[in-house]
Chain A
Amino acid sequence: MTVEHKILFTGTMGAGKTTAIAGVSEIPPVSTDVRNSDTSVAKATTTVGLDYGELTLDNGEKLRLYGTPGQMRFDFMWRILGRGALGVVILVDNSRPDPLADLDIYLDGFAELIAQTACVVAVGRMENHPSPGLDAYARRMEAKGVVCPVLPANVTDPQQVVQLLELLLLQLEV
């Protein structure tokens, strides 16, 4: 299958997928946000389809950035969006009750894509929520047979999002 030029952002509700894409995309991102009916999460909206942003490369081709819905019930979207992607950025929110369990969901949900392409795990809100630490993440990933960069990141800063993308690209170099 030919590789489309696309990169996925995934992670739990509120982890910053839409924000990350908005910071890097050259078009205002298209989003399919609707009202969140889950009263256990203090967030007004949630993505049910996808977020979409894009960058135009110098030969006119597009690099497409897709944000997936975070909840497991949308894993069919993960499969659809994952087809032919260059790699996936997993955003984790360290302020949640069990971020390692959150990570497991995406490591499992995107297992095939991760094994065949590249992955970066970005942990948000670490300054005020230092635990679990990065080594705990690394060990959790090792248990799933995944070795990939895991680092703290604040995706409201576009430069940090660019650096996440760079780490993704580095893994794809021949």
Chain B
Amino acid sequence: MNITPRIRLAAESAIDTLMREIKGVKAVVISTEDGLELAARVENTAQVARLSAIASSLAALGAVAGEESQLGHCDNVTIEAANGHILMLQARHPEMTLIVSVVTSRDAIIGQVLYFAKQATQLLQHA
């Protein structure tokens, strides 16, 4: 993996922000689009061992779903589970596409998560 220090720093910074700002956040993982983890922060209850790989598959399948339904580019993939949510977005930096995954508990507010996650994604894209 050839990740420039600038991108790495930007990823760490994005994680800092998201962990700080999002109510109910349990984990933030930033990975390559082919499923390799770049940076992660995890509350001790969250399991994110394979989230990078899973997120890359879901992001890719989300893209296919969007294209096949002729709805255009896929913005994010959201999973609503019994005990929380997972939100996955793509950050398209010119050097490489990254995937930002945010895991939250049930008491997170999806709108807030989406807002901060999109903001973080924008910053990453311009790193």
Tell whether A and B belong to one assembly.
Answer: yes
A residues with a Cβ closer than 8 A to B are 30, 32, 34-39, 46, 48-50, 69, 71, 73-74, 76-77
A38–B2 alpha-carbon span in the complex (Å): 8
A3–B54 alpha-carbon span in the complex (Å): 26
A76–B96 alpha-carbon span in the complex (Å): 25
Shortest CB-to-CB span from B81 to chain A, Å, is 15
A sample of 13 inter-chain contacts (CB < 8 A) reads A30-B68, A32-B57, A34-B34, A34-B97, A37-B34, A37-B96, A38-B34, A48-B53, A50-B61, A73-B36, A73-B50, A76-B50, A77-B57
Shortest CB-to-CB span from B41 to chain A, Å, is 20
Residue in A closest to B55 when the chains form the complex, CB atoms: A48
The yes or no answer to B56 lying at the interface (CB within 8 A) is: yes
A-B contact number at CB 8 A? 60
A69: chain B residues within 8 A (beta carbon):
35, 57
Chain A at the B interface: SS class: mixed
Q: With A38-B1, A38-B34, A73-B35 given, can you name 11 additional A-B contacts, CB distance below 8 Å?
A: A32-B57, A32-B60, A32-B63, A34-B56, A35-B34, A37-B96, A69-B57, A71-B35, A73-B50, A74-B35, A76-B50
Q: Determine which residue in A30, A48, A76 has the highest number of CB atoms from chain B within 10 A of its CB, and name it.
A: A48
Q: Which of B85-124 contact A (CB under 8 A)?
A: 96-97
Find A39's partner among B2, B53, B63, B64 (CB 8 Å cutoff): B2
A150–B65 alpha-carbon span in the complex (Å): 36
A76–B36 alpha-carbon span in the complex (Å): 15
User: With contacts A30-B64, A32-B63, A49-B64 known, is A37 near B32, CB below 8 A?
Assistant: yes
B residues with a Cβ closer than 8 A to A are 1-2, 32-36, 50, 52-54, 56-57, 59-61, 63-64, 68, 96-97
Find A48's partner among B1, B60, B68 (CB 8 Å cutoff): B60
Residue in B closest to A72 when the chains form the complex, CB atoms: B53
A46: chain B residues within 8 A (beta carbon):
34
Shortest CB-to-CB span from A131 to chain B, Å, is 30
Shortest CB-to-CB span from B70 to chain A, Å, is 14
A30: chain B residues within 8 A (beta carbon):
64, 68
B50: chain A residues within 8 A (beta carbon):
73, 76
Contact A38 B36 (CB under 8 A): yes
Contact A36 B34 (CB under 8 A): yes
A71–B32 alpha-carbon span in the complex (Å): 14
Find B96's partner among A35, A48, A73, A74 (CB 8 Å cutoff): A35
Find B1's partner among A32, A37, A49 (CB 8 Å cutoff): A37
